[in-house]
Amino acid sequence: MSKANIFYAQSGGVTSVINASACGVIEAARRSRAVGRVLVGQNGILGALNEELIDTALESKRDIAMLRHTPSGAFGSCRYKLKSVEANRLEYERLIAVFRAHDIGYFFYNGGGDSQDTANKVAQFSQDVGYPVQCIGIPKTVDNDLPFTDTCPGFGSVAKYVAVATEEAGLDVASMAASSTKVFVLEVMGRHAGWIAAAAALAAKSKGDPPHIIILPEVAFDPARFLQKVAQTVAKEGYCVIVASEGAQFEDGRFLAASSGVDAFGHAQLGGVAPTLVEMIKAKLGYKCHWAVSDYLQRAARHIASAVDVAQAYAVGEAAVNLAVAGESGVMVTIERQAGIRYRWRVGKVALSRVANVERKMPKSFITRDGYGITAAGLNYLKPLIQGEDYPPYKEGLPEYVRLKNQLVPKKLPKFKMP
């Protein structure tokens, strides 16, 4: 009897360490005698719907190992959310047909909340139609907003990047403030949760160090109070460094900066908080300002990844295989922080039904009373996640990253018309 194959896919915005999770899955599967090949969806779940399956057995041991230090999504990702079974049963039937045709008995989906929701729906549907597929969610999101896991792979490295960028930009602004720029605004990701912006607080090593103001989605934005804080900071420190979440919003829930468009998951397209704040400051206070948007740079910065983050990303991929071999299904791998002064962690699991479509925001105990800073409790949570360096190998002055063959297996089914 042949061994069931694994279907693995990457979903949503990629990170500097999501390929480390893929590496963990593939290497663990190759070591196991209980599973077959690892087939990967080209461009996430779309790869399954279109029957575009990458055969990782054709990749060398060296190239798979290099995934551990290669950023972005080596197999392609997507922003595509399956509707409910009632709304579009055809998509689910297509997935099962593809899984049957290619002897797939395991489905590992590597992504955030929407991805865990997809894995949960597929797990339930496969049971209902008599072709049970063992579905395991592998956490990934720079936003760090998945519940029941202490942190999300991808976040630690973004946190490290933002903290370093804040410290370095702060030194730049401080050196020019006497005769030039007084205010610098850095815009970072974070739709409803301010974890990434909060990480900038790690840059401050002494009182008065930047960031002087952190704008979080969890705290309603008050323009008058904000401008007063900026003016007070410039008067006291000579300059002001601000780190703002893209999801900053007014008390009535309106985003400071949102376009009229939405993404494939139905979320409002965000971006533009930094220039919005700068225009506000220039109009009311008259300071010379500069701003920057870290955008893809923050999530692709593998050259400055956190060693803790890389280790955790690999571990959750490896754990997915181990859980599946042990008979688990309908669960997401988690990271559990252990009690004690020294930071220790281990992998665990939680039911997908508890994770799907639930967002974890910054707790109030992590935010200072004025809403512009991070408490000692918040810093104690964040600090271990950025520890250690895991530099990629360099060649001729640049990081050496892998580009896989990504050869597709032959198709066996008729073409599927996307709804």
What is the distance between the alpha carbons of residues 75 and 360, in angstroms, rounded to a whole number?
28
pLDDT value at residue 296: 95
pLDDT value at residue 267: 53
Name the residues annotated as catalytic. Answer: 143
| Radius of gyration of the CA atoms of the chain, in A | 22
What is the distance between the alpha carbons of residues 143 and 193, in angstroms, rounded to a whole number?
7
For the domain with range 5-141+304-358+389-399, which CATH number is right: 3.30.70.20, 3.40.50.300, 3.30.479.30, 3.40.50.450? 3.40.50.450
What is the distance between the alpha carbons of residues 76 and 12, in angstroms, rounded to a whole number?
10
For the domain with range 155-300+371-386, which CATH number is right: 3.30.379.10, 3.30.2290.10, 3.40.50.460, 2.40.50.100? 3.40.50.460
DSSP 8-state class, residue 180: S
Chain segment 81-105, per-residue pLDDT in tens: 888 888 889 999 999 999 999 999 9
Residue 104 pairs in a beta bridge with 5
pLDDT value at residue 87: 86
Q: Does the pLDDT value for residue 30 go beyond 90?
A: yes
- Domain ranges across the chain: 5-141+304-358+389-399, 155-300+371-386
What is the distance between the alpha carbons of residues 141 and 15, in angstroms, rounded to a whole number?
7
Q: Do domains 5-141+304-358+389-399 and 155-300+371-386 have the same CATH topology?
A: yes
pLDDT value at residue 271: 67
pLDDT bucket at 378, cuts 50 / 70 / 90: very high
Chain segment 37-46, per-residue pLDDT in tens: 999 999 999 9
Q: Does the pLDDT value for residue 70 go beyond 90?
A: yes
Q: Does the pLDDT value for residue 356 go beyond 90?
A: no
